[in-house]
């Protein structure tokens, strides 16, 4: 599918202080050319209210890094969809490999989290991707296929879903997948979801994540099936992140 507009999403993970969020984003926005890429900033929960007023003025999207699968109630430490909407979130990351690794129950909660977030009108950035071992053994596609069937096949359509392919061996390691490796997997993901959802997956965007930097984002996104990037470490550094965002306007 041709990418009419790219998506550049920043996953800050557990970094920065709430007081640093607004000045940082303001600096990004001063140099951000709003032409060819939509920007989604996903800071820690505590920073969201600090960015939400700013969001309205400047036209970037605000996302969270996780969500509860429940409406409300006795779920200590959890954050609900309504709470995210209340502070201006439009997007939420679900299924990040770091969460899957930290919580043994995360995998089983992902299908419900996705349905629930979508039912509330949030756009979901759904993460999948294989560990190094599966890449070495050459079964990375069957690993990702299993994730897709388990996590997404209960949905009725994918119009509000964004997939982020993040090979675990490339996250935070400085080891980016080559653009050919990424393209091959993106095409596989698109075909897999097309065979299940047909036209209901027509406009699906598939982002690549894993050691994306200003100097490799252009090459990655020159590929037909790479519709943008989900950026961790480099989204915390002003010049790097501006370099990535504006690389889509060349």
CA dihedral 23, 26, 32, 33 (to 10 degrees): -170
Interaction between residue 166 and ligand 13P (CB under 6 A) = yes
Catalytic site includes residue 166: yes
118 contacts 155 by C-beta, under 8 angstroms: yes
Burial class (CB in 10 A: 0-12, 13-18, 19+), 128: buried
- Reduced to 3 states (helix: H, G, I; strand: E, B; else coil), residue 6 is strand
Site string for ligand 13P, 55-94 (x = CB under 6 A): ----------------------------------------
Per rule CB under 6 A, is residue 231 in the interface with ligand 13P?
Answer: yes
What gap in Å lies between CA 227 and CA 1, rounded to an integer? 9
Instruction: Identify which range of 102-110, 155-163, 196-204, 207-215 contacts ligand 13P by CB under 6 A.
Output: 207-215
Q: Which of 172, 195, 184 is nearest to 226 (CA)?
A: 184
* DSSP letter, residue 119: H
Q: Is 96 a catalytic residue?
A: yes
Residues 56 and 45: their CA atoms lie apart, in Å, by: 18
How many residues sit close enough to ligand 13P to count as binding (CB under 6 A)?
14
210 is a site residue for ligand 13P (CB under 6 A): yes
Catalytic position from the list 69, 166, 183, 240: 166
Q: Is 172 in the site for ligand 13P (CB under 6 A)?
A: yes
11 is an interface residue for ligand 13P by CB under 6 A? yes
Q: Tell me the CB-side half-sphere exposure of residue 18, using CA atoms within 13 A.
A: 7
- Residue 232 as a binder of ligand 13P (CB under 6 A): the answer is yes
Of the pair 70, 243, the CB lying nearest ligand 13P is at 243
DSSP-assigned letters across all residues of 160-228:
TEEEEE--GGGTTSS-PPPHHHHHHHHHHHHHHHHHHHGGGGTT-EEEEESS--TTTHHHHHTSTT--E
Q: CB 234 → ligand 13P: shortest distance, Å?
A: 6
Among 51, 209, 227, 240, binds ligand 13P (CB under 6 A): 209
Task: Output the smallest distance, CB 201 to ligand 13P, in A.
Answer: 22
Please state the φ and ψ torsions of residue 149, each to the nearest 5 degrees: -65, -40
Indicate which single residue of 118, 212, 214, 221 sits in contact with ligand 13P (rule: CB under 6 A): 212
Q: Which of 81, 233, 241, 248 binds ligand 13P (CB under 6 A)?
A: 233
Residue from the set 192, 201, 211, 225 that interacts with ligand 13P by CB under 6 A: 211
Q: Which residue is nearest to ligand 13P (CB)?
A: 232
* Catalytic one of 3, 91, 96, 186: 96
Q: Where are the alpha helices (DSSP H) in 38-177?
A: 48-58, 81-86, 97-102, 106-119, 132-136, 140-152
**Residues classed as catalytic:** 96, 166
Q: Which residues bind ligand 13P (CB under 6 A)?
A: 11, 96, 166, 171-172, 209-212, 230-234
């Amino acid at each position: 599918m041709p990418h009419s507009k790219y998506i550049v999403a920043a996953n800050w993970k557990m970094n920065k202080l709430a007081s640093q969020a607004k000045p940082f984003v303001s600096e990004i926005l001063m140099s951000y050319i709003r032409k060819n890429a939509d920007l989604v900033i996903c800071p820690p929960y505590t920073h969201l209210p600090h960015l939400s007023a700013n969001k309205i003025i400047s036209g970037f999207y605000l996302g969270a890094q996780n969500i509860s699968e429940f409406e409300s109630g006795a779920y200590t430490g959890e954050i609900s969809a309504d709470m995210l909407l209340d502070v201006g979130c439009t997007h939420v990351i679900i299924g990040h490999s770091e969460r899957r690794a930290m919580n043994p129950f995360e995998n089983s909660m992902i299908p419900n989290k996705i349905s629930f977030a979508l039912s509330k009108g949030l756009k979901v950035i759904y993460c999948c991707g294989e560990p190094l071992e599966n890449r070495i053994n050459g079964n990375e596609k069957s690993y990702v296929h299993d994730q897709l069937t388990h996590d997404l096949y209960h949905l009725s359509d994918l119009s509000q879903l964004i997939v982020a392919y993040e090979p675990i061996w490339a996250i935070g390691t400085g080891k980016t997948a080559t653009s050919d490796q990424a393209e091959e997997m993106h095409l596989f993901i698109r075909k897999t979801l097309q065979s299940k959802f047909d036209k209901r997956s027509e406009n699906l965007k598939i982002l690549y994540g894993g050691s994306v930097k200003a100097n490799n984002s252009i090459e990655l996104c020159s590929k037909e099936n790479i519709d943008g990037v989900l950026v961790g470490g480099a989204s915390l550094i002003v010049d790097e992140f501006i370099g990535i965002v504006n690389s889509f306007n060349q």
